[in-house]
Structure 1
Amino acid sequence: MSRSAPPLHAERMTFFSDAAAAIALTLLVLPLVELVPEAVEKHESPHEVITGNLVPFGSFALSFFVIWRIWTVHHRLFDRVDSIDTRIVRINSLWLLCVVVLPFPAEMVGAYGDDRLVISLYIGVLFVSSLTLTALALALRRINPAESAPDRTVLEQLIGNAVALALAFLLTLVVPGAGYWPLLLLLADGRILTLLRRRGVLAS
């Protein structure tokens, strides 16, 4: 724990983080809500509203799932933590920045589809979010007792997720037309962890 400042209560920070994630989820749906009056003005049918906006709907579903997933990981990290220090507050602020910024690249995905720059921006935000969650797990393990700190399994899952997103980000930069397919690497984070152990990056 920091010598220059007393420990802080984790509960207040987690409540604030939960509220920020909830607002980010709400912002995701606003562009879809705006489609309805626009369609009425153009005299489009309900069927045309849906079939003509499959990309925005897909972007919403993907981004909702992503924010929900990273929030659940964040919740697991702090589930048994009572005290934190200012370093954790700073790292958590970076994570919150990623969460509240995510609706912006999500909206760009809905508007520009598989544009390479947009995909790179979207995956890049996810990658930074994964890095901050990993940094939070490491910091919590340093200052909290073993019984309340995030366990090794959670930490390794975060590392595997970060590596998968790093590879996905690189693929979008070097492989023309890769689209969003590199995000499927997130389904292979278990194999990535196995490879890292074999290479000696992670202890068994």
Structure 2
Amino acid sequence: CFIQIKDLQLAYKIDEFLHSGSNYKFLGDAFKEGIYYSFFFRLICQFETLEKIMYYYDLFTPNMWTPNTLALSDLLNAIKLHDGQEHLPRIWSDLVMFQFTRGEETGTIFKLMAEENRPELLSQFAEVAVKIIERWTEENDANIKEFILLTGELLGNMMVIVMKADRFSEAWKMFELYEKHSSKLSNVPSESAMSMLLDGCLNEKHTKNVL
């Protein structure tokens, strides 16, 4: 249904059949079961409303299925398409639980968070970003493998998030962290992130920081 014909209604009928009586045995072993749920969920992400997508995400995860990177990518694309950024803290929490935090999904999540402008969401996002940096710093100082793969671009998006949440001091700490570790971080904060940081310095009258 997913690879060839992409027929969502047929997929629903197949799922109903598999969950009737003892038909679940047709799914096969755990590996095949994981493939089935991945294809089914990705099909839902492409054609359903965000409400329905999250219903099935909650139904499947984590007890029945751990989403793979392709399923997570489709989910994040759906969240972006449907303006569903309120779900991002939940998705991030699940990535931590699945130990998927060193993948590309982390960068995608915080890029979406940085594009948000609703104050109530930005407050939540900023808290997540600050806690991540605190944990990364602790692990780095202790010479422990950091739970996220920190990059200049990721730090830049986190800076944008906390500045939008009116937490300039936290943004400046993140910039100082970038300066300290820039030699081992891939890429750099975006031009827009640095411009926002400069504006923040001027607004906060931190002229020393500007210089």
Q: What TM-score, normalized to structure 2?
A: 0.28
User: Which structure is richer in relative contact order (CA contacts within 8 A, separation 6 or more)?
Assistant: 1
Name the structure with the higher helix share. Answer: 1
TM-score by length of 1: 0.29
> Which of 1 and 2 has greater Rg?
2
